[in-house]
Amino acid sequence: MREPVITEWNDDQRGEFRKSVVSARHRLHRDEAFSDDALAELIDRHPRELCDFCTMGDDPTDRESWRAGDPGALDGHTLLDAVKAGKLWINLREAMTIDPVYALLHKRLFSQLKALNPGYDPLRTYGGILISSPKAQVFYHADVSETLLLHVRGHKRIRIYPPHQPWLKAQSMESILHHRQTEDMPFQTGWDQDAATFDLKPGDMVAWPLHAPHRVENIDGLNVSVTCEVVTQDSLLKNAVLHANGALRQMGWVPRSTSTQGLQVYTKLMISKIWKVWTRYMVAQSKAMPKSERTFDIDPNEVEGFKNRELA
Ligand SMILES: [Fe+2]
């Protein structure tokens, strides 16, 4: 595809980009790369260690119901059929950045975003492809990078909440950055009234400010979306300050500021660096991962597209 990926970007969108929630239009849904055949081939060739196969319950506050499963030797087309009919969620991590077919689109998207937004200069970008069932959901969470979502197939509702108290506790981001918790966070359904809510159809895209919590509920159809994680100078600085605050808290201090302005930031950058070096040598680091134990096998003959494994 030689045409620009984004098909709508005006002065308002440029002005609000990364400062608040911005929606726009793109044209990936018209690209053959997202047809059933192309996606099935991608599933077959993408490294399996970069693929997550999950399911979840219906209650948006029950993040414990999120669990991982095993695709076995099923091929891409069979897995797509199981997702269409069942309650499954597949994440092809980094597909947009490492797969030659999709990396071209990813590259084109970010060169266009840079051209459309003077001064926008990501240090690193990663992109994945999510393929999920008509009634799948993703629980309330906040990402450590800046995020963009380009919706390609099906319909889904995304709710984006303000990136501060009570929706986001500074201590939650500190714990995520210290790998003491996953990106999932406690959620109250009453917060939905405070969210920016979008019902996404193919060709819609949304971008939101760093650390803004969000959750997604699919509405109908096989859902396919592209998610991009973007590391910028701003996200590095903010994460370093929060990481330093988390380190100070573990040393018994009560950090009062999460500001990225002023002289105290240099001290915090140093604290964050020293803490990382110290923990690398002194503490066996283990990232808090979503439950990785596989508790089901994908099975297109089952109603929800999977069969639970017998408990040992
Ligand atoms: Fe996210």
With the C-alpha atoms ordered 288, 293, 295, 297, is the resulting torsion angle positive or negative? positive
Q: How many angstroms is it from 305 CA to the middle of ligand 1?
A: 24
91 alpha carbon to ligand 1 midpoint, in Å?
Answer: 12
Cα→Cα distances 69→27, 56, 102, 312, Å? 32, 11, 25, 16
Whole-number Å distance, alpha carbon 185 to ligand 1 midpoint, is 12
257 DSSP assignment: -
Res 30: pLDDT:
96
Task: Give the amino acid at 295.
Answer: T
Give the amino acid at 153: R
pLDDT at 276: 76
Strands (E), the chain: 6-8, 22-26, 51-55, 67-70, 89-92, 124-132, 137-141, 146-160, 196-200, 204-208, 214-231, 294-298, 306-308
Domains and CATH numbers, the chain: 6-232+293-308 (2.60.120.650), 236-282 (no CATH)
* Ligand 1 center–CA 142 separation, angstroms: 6
Whether 53 and 100 have beta carbons less than 8 Å apart is answered as no
Residue 282: what pLDDT? 62
Which residues are within 5 Å of ligand 1 (an ion), measured at CB? Answer: 143
Distance 141 CA to ligand 1 centre (A): 6
CA of 310 to the centre of ligand 1 (A): 31
Distance CA 245, CA 301 (A): 50
- Is residue 220 within 8 Å of residue 246, measured between CB atoms? no
Quote the pLDDT of residue 312.
57
Q: Which pLDDT score is estimated for 283?
A: 58
Model pLDDT, residue 70: 96
Strands 22-26 and 306-308: unpaired
Report the candidate in 270, 213, 155, 284 with the shortest Cα–Cα distance to residue 21. Answer: 213
Write out the two tokens for 163.
């990136």
Q: How far is the CA of 146 from the centre of ligand 1 (A)?
A: 9
- Separation of CA 114 and ligand 1 centre (Å): 22
Question: How do the pLDDT tens digits run along the chain, 312 residues long?
Answer: 568 999 999 999 999 999 999 999 999 999 999 999 999 999 999 999 999 999 999 999 999 999 999 999 999 999 999 999 999 999 999 999 999 999 999 999 999 999 999 999 999 999 999 999 999 999 999 998 999 999 999 999 999 999 998 998 877 787 777 777 777 778 999 999 999 999 999 999 999 999 999 999 999 999 999 999 999 988 888 888 887 777 777 777 777 777 888 777 777 777 777 777 777 666 555 555 556 789 999 999 998 999 999 865
Per this entry, what is the length of the chain? 312
pLDDT, tens digit, 9 for 90 and up, residues 205-264: 999 999 999 999 999 999 999 999 999 988 888 888 887 777 777 777 777 777 888 777
Closest listed residue to residue 168, CA positions, set 228, 238, 227: 238
Q: What angle do CA 35, 39, 43 make, to 5 degrees?
A: 170
pLDDT of residue 289: 55
| d(C-alpha 25, C-alpha 204), whole Å | 5
Kindly write down the DSSP assignment for every residue of 96-165, as one continuous string.
HHHSHHHHHHHHHHHHHHHHHSTT---SEEEEEEEEE-TT-EEEEE--SSEEEEEEEEEEEEEEE--SST
